[in-house]
Structure 1
Amino acid sequence: MTTTNVLFEVGLEEMPARFMNHTEVQLREKTEAWLNELRLNFEEIATYITPRRFAVVIKNLQTKQADQEEEVKGPAEKIAKDENGNWSKAAIGFSKGQGKDVDDIYFKEVNGTNYIFVKKFIEGKKVDELLPQFKEIILSLHFPKNMRWANQNLRFIRPIKWLVALNHENIIPFEITGVETDRVTYGHRFLGGEIVINDPLQYEELLEKEYVIADAEKREKLITDGISKLEKVKGWNIPIDEGLLNEVKHLVEYPTVFFGAYDKAFLQIPKEVLITSMKEHQRYFPVQDSQGELYPFFVAVRNGTSDHIETVSRGNEKVLRARLQDAQFFYEEDQKLSIERNLDQLSRMVFQEKLGTIADKSERVTNIASIITAQLQLNDEEKNKVTRAAQISKFDLVTNMVNEFTELQGVMGRKYAEIFGEDEEVAKAIEEQYMPKNANAELPETIVGSVVSIADKLDTIVGCFTVGIIPSGSQDPYALRRQALGVIQIVGRRKWNLNISELLYHVQKLFETHISDHSQKEEIHKQLETFFKQRAAYIMKEEKIESDVIDAVLVNDLDNISFITAKAKLLSEKRSDTSFKDKQEAFVRVLNLAKKAEDHFQVNPELFVKEEEKNLYQVYESIKPDYKASLQTSNAGESLEILSRLVQPIHQFFDNTMVMDDDIQIRENRLALLLAVSQQIIKFADLAEINWKQVQS
């Protein structure tokens, strides 16, 4: 089988760096799926992306689809033949439709019925016919943000400037928005020129000659190698932030690492401000000593060669100097005000149109924090610190520094609170309220910070749900999923016996003026509880716990996340423990039959007839105090062990007792007994939700 090499390149105006990783992944996956669908074998797919282009090279692609023989099923025999055994119109039409005649028909039995079949030969197409279809792959790429340009209707990440499409040396014809495919691409915007490509395998090499490193991973290595070289020569420590590195490699086509300096006097500004100015605003890598203290230097990446690099360095130094002068001014001006003065201004800062100002939010957060401290039974000193931290938690939002560097909210609050003489834990809580900042980020270290963080997040989540701002699909403008996840992570890490379901009711009361209808309040509460349980399920899935086990432990309130997780892990182990089979069968049998009972059924010991039902009731009553105590101390193993004392009485009960007795009083009393037992089982988990057979069969 002969093969060919193929190149597709889309030239664009500069793409946002943050979209480029996903674009390259899509390009690879969609190309591979397309070739597999076309039944075209290939040796390798190589993808490339720079700010001004994305491309794919398909190496050793077979030049023709494999021929295919397909078996096509027609109507059943009774329809294909008439009463005289002759071919019917249906059979004749079927064979003609497949390019065959009735002589090609044969019979096969399918599920006890005879059907007619024909074998159809499909000749493979040549790639020349198929490759123009790649246009649809390009158009199928999706991006977080799109744009239109000129008079075109296409919505795409950026305007398309040129298209390259080559099957070996031949142009593959198609056009997009009036741009026709060609063999001409372009090098670096300022250093390179026009490039004529006659061989797809020369793509990367030809671009590099015109100052474009097409492979993003090669650009990254050039950057990290350049940083490492500087570290060795200068004796510096240059921490590489992976997010910044990923962004920088997608901002340039020909990376060259260089360094610059700034005035030592700026080191009096908080370290976080300097780092933010360098990383977030200028895309510089800060320089540190071995102890993590900043040196007055920065490392940056130029989109070009090392020619005149000193001039480039001086230009960047000038830009950074202006930034740091602003930061120094803001830092000094902010210290001239007081926390109370800043708090007064919060009443003029809107949190959300329907939910009031930041001052309103701060008041609610203080109330929620007070409820949490009561549930946790914190001491008076801790309560006072939590209250103060919640009251002043947002004061830094009106400072010059946070207005200029929004990424520093909380960080500057802590710095200024320390300067203004606030308690160390109170100051730290102002920063910790925003933790965790993503799914795997750092959690608050202090109790005070943990409480304020939970309170702040609950206020945002419940408030948004109340006014109808509920995440759907990829839409989550207030990051409510992340915030709910943060609440569960904090509670779980601290092993707090904090009833989130109950807490949600308390928080909802703070928004009562928004909703007067009781049924609507209950509906919102159900949505909130489901929302938090979904986040809890996500965390447990990350710990490799099966979905049915998760469903089993989430039937109750979210009253103790760490205990719920411990129960899930224990039950996950028991799935494959054959010694637990006897217990599981007893518990599940009770749970299933108890569904026949009605909620108002009450156990009356005087109506017991059989010794087995008396015994089950006595054991049930005897274990309740120990079982309750074990649940309160969140001991999953002990709770299940105490519950297991019911197993033998349950089996004896079912072996010797007819639950559905003809006497209605006896029947309802026995169902009431099973209902009572099932309610204790469900306090641990709804074991009937678990598919035990899939492991133990």
Structure 2
Amino acid sequence: MTKNLLVELGLEELPAYVVTQSEQQLGEKMAAFLGDNRLSFESIQTFSTPRRLAVRVNGLADAQTDLTEDFKGPSKKIALDADGNFSKAAQGFVRGKGLTVEDIEFREVKGEEYVYVTKHEAGQSAEQVLTGLPEVLASLSFPVSMHWASNSFEYIRPVHTLTVLLDEQALDMPFLDIQSGRISRGHRFLGTEVAITSADSYEADLRKVFVIANAKEREDMIVEQIKAIEKSQNVVVEIDPSLLNEVLNLVEYPTAFMGAFDAKYLAVPEEVLVTSMKAHQRYFVVRDQSGKLLPNFISVRNGNADHIENVVKGNEKVLVARLEDGEFFWREDQKLQIEALVAKLEDVTFHEKIGSLAEHMHRVQVIADSLAKQANLSEQEREDLARAAHIYKFDLLTGMVGEFDELQGIMGEKYALLAGENPAVATAIREHYLPNAADGDLPETKVGAILALADKLDTLLSFFSVGLIPSGSNDPYALRRATQGIVRILDAFGWNIPMDELIHSLYELDFASLAYENKEEVLNFIRARVDKMMGKMPKDIKEAVLAGSTFVVPEMLAAATSLVEASQADNYKPAVESLSRVFNLAEKADAVATVDPSLFENEQEKALASAIENLLLSGEHKEKLAQLFALSPVIDAFFDNTMVMVEDQAVKNNRLALLASLTEKAATVAKFNVLNTK
């Protein structure tokens, strides 16, 4: 017989960004708890609103499955003493399992007898097991926590109620300073406390008090209401997925409505209006059928449609205040001079341990010039890059960016164009912030990409140099994101710039403002981001490529992709095993030894030397692997007919040098002895 279990935790309003992930975490931890405790179930359904996290387990077994487990103990010769009695070792073993020597039996394993005992444990009832539910709730982790009143326990927000129902039965258990029961809370303004009748009636009971517990249902309601407004008003609404998720986690009973603002504000750059609506007010943007921005917005009320006209007016008033600010700063900022703003950056701190923004920009100019040469930028592109690197942070001192920091770079581009700057320079000012998320858009121009690389490289090296290195999940200066951006840009533009050589060259630069330190830590940090870029590729393939001699990002990623494809072929295992044998022996070679053909003693040795000499490793990585794998028969013939580690030191060192000459070429693809062929 099965039952349905409901667990709901009622809290103060949660930050919108933690609601969805906390709901998922609760479901995962509940599944793990039931699995660990041998309580079978059919399915798990999770719920969330800003004021609750809940989970319903459907088809929960009424008791644990019985446990029968065999335990292997000492061998028979150790378990019995000279008189044939059970030794202290045997007695201690069974005592530790809660059994007696009478439960011992001997079983033969590989020709020798050992002590075995079988332990039977009857399953507990579901109610007994579920007394451990408070531990599940306590184990939830959050990005921020707090404690309240006299409670020393920290949690995301104060807890008010705990509802635990097994079908209709309310289970009594403590959590923090409250007791569980069947009482939940309705909408903060429209509802009251409500008694949940049963696990199955959860959504219906809450709906009566204006709470939609199912997040997907709330999301569908919002989308359907917006679509209805679109149809009735003949408009197009941008339903941004991240904004939609944030809005649904701010409301328990959604009602969408459309508001308006004065069309005069459309003279302000669209980005300012969109940022004001989306980022600051959580409004959806409205356009006409051609895509032109309209003086309207869509918002979602946490409640029903009663007195909605007052809600509309209130939201319009709040937005207009924001738009007034935007209009004012747009007008006033155009009076500023770019060079005057750049000069003031001397007094703006980049970081107290690193120096000013002006000093940061000076280092970036030097790095950008070095990168431009390696990326073969044209003369005009290099001129545009130099100008962009000289001024690219000026907009940080404008009133608009001071009020709307999300518009960094965006307003820089607009103000630069208004000041008569080359469009390529203006675009680079905007693009140097890209990508601004792990999978965000990349720069589209070479000038913008090089400026982005230079800015991110100096940021990375500067923070590492003063000891501000990310540890664990702690990364307050987003250095992982910046480095991921470096890797993605290099790959996207196909710039074959060896990162080890580049970093070494940057550490040789002499800046009065800062001396770069912790070079090896920086290189390892970049390698870790390349590893992440390889995604879910097999671990051994990623490690083999990262351990190779090439630190050119596009080449490394291409090599890993080719190895994954090649690993499916029949010749992969024998070819890799042949190359691995070469790598293993070549590690013993003298680094300064050279190959002397006069010391060759057989035809197979000569054939391998000839094959290595003719090995060019040209073309795509798929072709390079094919060239390496084609050597497998030659390598195998060499090893079948040649002893490498002979007593004659000259011959031995010559053969090791021959193998090392092959690994020197092959390592540009991967270190093949790291690959797993078992």
What TM-score do you get using the length of structure 2 for normalisation?
0.93
Show the 5 A alignment for 1:491-506. Answer: 491-506=490-505
* CA displacement 1:562-606 (0-9 Å, x = unmatched): 233333333333333335667555544433322221112123445
Cα distance in 2 between the residues matched to 1:94 and 1:657: 55
1:610-647 per-residue CA deviation (whole Å, 9 max, x = no partner) reads: 555455545544x37x55xx3xxx64355456667866
In the alignment, is residue 685 of structure 1 matched against residue 651 of structure 2? no
Q: Which residue of 2 aligns with 1:194?
A: 193
Deviations 1:622-680 (A, max 9, x none): x37x55xx3xxx64355456667866665555455443444333332333233233322
Aligned to 2:422: 423
1:60: Cα distance to partner? 3.6
Q: Distance in 1 between matches of 2:226 and 2:566?
A: 52
- SS of 1:45 mapped into structure 2: strand
Q: How does 1:588-627 map to 2 (within 5 A)?
A: 588-608=580-600, 610=602, 613=605, 616-617=608-609, 620-621=612-613, 623=614
- Larger CA deviation: 336-345 vs 106-115: 106-115
Which deviations, in whole Å up to 9, do the C-alpha atoms of 1:232-285 show, x marking residues without a partner?
Answer: 111111011000000000001110000100010000111111000001100000
In structure 2, the CA distance between the partners of 1:130 and 1:617, relative to structure 1 (3 Å rule), is closer
Residues 65-84 of structure 1 correspond to what in structure 2 (within 5 A)? 65-84=64-83
The one-character-per-residue Cα deviations of 1:9-47 (angstroms, maximum 9, x if unpaired) are: 211111101001111011111111111222222333222
Displacement of 1:133: 1.4
Contact kept, 8 Å, 1:563 with 1:635, in 2: the verdict is: no
Distance 1:220 1:250 in 2: 9
Inter-partner Cα distance in structure 2 for 1:84 and 1:446: 88
Residue 409 (str. 1) matches residue 394 (str. 2): no
Cα distance change of structure 1 residues 189 and 87 upon mapping to structure 2, 3 Å threshold: same
Provide the C-alpha distance between the structure 2 equivalents of 1:288 and 1:43, rounded to a whole number of angstroms.
Answer: 46
Q: Report the Cα offset of residue 350 of structure 1.
A: 0.9
Deviations 1:352-373 (A, max 9, x none): 1221111111111111100001
Question: For the Cα contact (< 8 Å) 2:550–2:667, is it kept in 1?
Answer: no
Normalised to the residue count of structure 1, the TM-score between the two structures is: 0.91
Query: 1:195 deviation in Å?
Result: 0.9
| Farther-moved stretch of structure 1 (134-143 vs 108-117) | 108-117
Indicate the structure with greater helix content. 1
Q: Aligned residue for 2:527?
A: 533
Aligned to 1:575: 567
The amino acid of 1:252's aligned partner reads V
Is 1:664 aligned to 2:636, yes or no? no
CA-to-aligned-CA distance 1:59-95 (integer Å, 9 cap, x gap): 3423333344444545443344333334456656766
Higher mean displacement: 276-285 or 182-191: 182-191
Could you say which residue in structure 1 is the equivalent of 2:161? 162
CA distance in 2, matches of 1:350, 1:92: 71
Contact 2:62 2:126 in 1 (8 A): yes
Residue 562, structure 1, aligned to residue 554, structure 2: yes
Q: CA deviation at 1:97?
A: 6.9
- AA partner of residue 671 (structure 1): L
Structure 2 matches for 1:240-389, cutoff 5 A?
240-389=239-388
* CA-to-aligned-CA distance 1:105-149 (integer Å, 9 cap, x gap): 432234543233444442322233222211111111110000011
The more displaced of 172-181 and 576-585 is: 576-585
Q: Secondary structure at the match of 2:149?
A: coil
Q: Tell whether 2:389 aligns with 1:390.
A: yes
Secondary structure of 2:565's aligned partner: helix
Distance 1:651 1:118 in 2: 51
Residues 189-212 of structure 1 show CA distances to partners (whole Å, capped at 9, x for unaligned) of: 111112123322222111110111
Q: Does 1:114 align with 2:109?
A: no
CA contact under 8 A between 2:549 and 2:668: conserved in structure 1?
no
Displacement of 1:328: 0.5
User: What CA distance in whole angstroms lies between the structure 2 residues aligned with 1:162 and 1:583?
Assistant: 63
Provide the C-alpha distance between the structure 2 equivalents of 1:581 and 1:588, rounded to a whole number of angstroms: 10
Match of 1:4 in 2: 3
User: What is the CA-CA distance between 1:294 and the residue it aligns to?
Assistant: 0.5
Q: In structure 1, the residue corresponding to 2:237 is in which secondary structure?
A: coil
Using the TM superposition, give the Cα deviation of residue 683 of structure 1 relative to its aligned residue in structure 2, in angstroms: 2.9
The alpha-carbon deviation at position 426 of structure 1 amounts to 0.8
Report percent identity of matched pairs. Answer: 44
The residue type equivalent to 1:122 in the other structure is E
Give the SS at the match of 1:578.
coil
d(CA) in 2 for partners of 1:102, 1:604: 72
Question: C-alpha offsets along residues 308-343 of structure 1, whole Å, 9 cap, x if unaligned?
Answer: 111100110000000000011011111110111111
Q: Which runs of 5+ in 2 are unaligned?
A: none
How far apart are residue 466 of structure 1 and its match?
A: 1.3
Tell me the residue number matched to 1:552. Answer: 544
2: CA distance, partners of 1:97 / 1:652? 58
**CA offsets, 1:457-492, max 9 Å, x none?**
111111111111222221111211121111111111
Contact 1:373 1:383 in 2 (8 A): yes
Distance across 2 between alignment mates of 1:457 and 1:298: 36
Displacement after TM superposition at 1:178 (Å)? 1.9
Letter paired with 2:487: I
CA distance in structure 2 between the aligned counterparts of 1:541 and 1:386, rounded to whole angstroms: 33
CA contact (8 A) 1:500 1:557 kept: no
| More displaced 10-residue stretch of structure 1: 172-181 or 327-336 | 172-181
In 1, Cα distance between equivalents of 2:187 and 2:102: 65
1:527 aligned partner, one-letter code = E
Contact 1:463 1:511 in 2 (8 A): no
- Measure the CA separation in 2 of the matches of 1:193 and 1:236: 38
Q: 1:676 aligns with which of 644, 653, 661?
A: 661
Does residue 35 of structure 1 match 2:34? yes
| SS at 2:35 equivalent | helix
Identify the range of structure 1 (294-303 vs 80-89) with the bigger mean alpha-carbon deviation. Answer: 80-89
Q: 1:136 to 1:294 in 2, by over 3 A?
A: same
Give the structure 2 partner of residue 56 of structure 1: 55
Whether the aligned pair in 2 keeps the contact of 1:368 and 1:507 (CA below 8 Å) is: yes
Question: What's the C-alpha RMSD, in Å, of the aligned pairs?
Answer: 2.6
Q: Distance in 1 between matches of 2:549 and 2:371?
A: 16
Measured in 1, the distance between the counterparts of 2:626 and 2:84 equals: 72
Structure 1 residues 301, 18: closer, same or farther in 2, change over 3 A?
same
**Is the Cα–Cα contact under 8 Å of residues 466 and 514 in structure 1 kept in the other structure?**
no
Structure 1 position 549, deviation (Å):
2.6
Cα gap change, 1:5 to 1:510, in 2 (>3 Å): same
Q: Secondary structure of the residue that 1:292 maps to in structure 2? A: coil
